[in-house]
Amino acid sequence: MSLEEKFQKAVEDIKKLKSKPSDQDLLEIYGLFKQATVGDVNTDRPGLLDLKGKAKWDAWNGRKGLAQDKAKELYVAKVQSLIDSLGLQ
């Protein structure tokens, strides 16, 4: 299975977890997904009152400079660890 196929499978599997991951895990997954699919942050940081938007932006920006293929590998590994701990439906 190619890296892209593993990544796409992980994207689908994350939606099938038995329970919701922690906020920290969700932010990590979000940052890795955005870095893997878009690359480095290409937007301005959200405003002061957009706490959720800022947290997501910071999670993505924290991956700045990470190669997209490496981000996909880390995403797949993180999803697998969540499946191992939370299980699938």
Percent share of the chain, pLDDT over 70: 100
Question: Which of the listed CATH numbers 3.90.79.10, 1.10.645.10, 1.10.3720.10, 1.20.80.10 matches domain 3-86?
Answer: 1.20.80.10
Task: Give the domain ranges of the chain.
Answer: 3-86
pLDDT single digits (tens) 38-71: 999 999 999 989 999 999 999 999 999 999 999 9
pLDDT band at residue 89 using 50, 70 and 90 as cut-offs = confident
3-class secondary structure per residue, 20-62: CCCHHHHHHHHHHHHHHHCCCCCCCCCCCCCHHHHHHHHHHHC
pTM of the predicted model as reported, rounded to 2 decimal places: 0.93
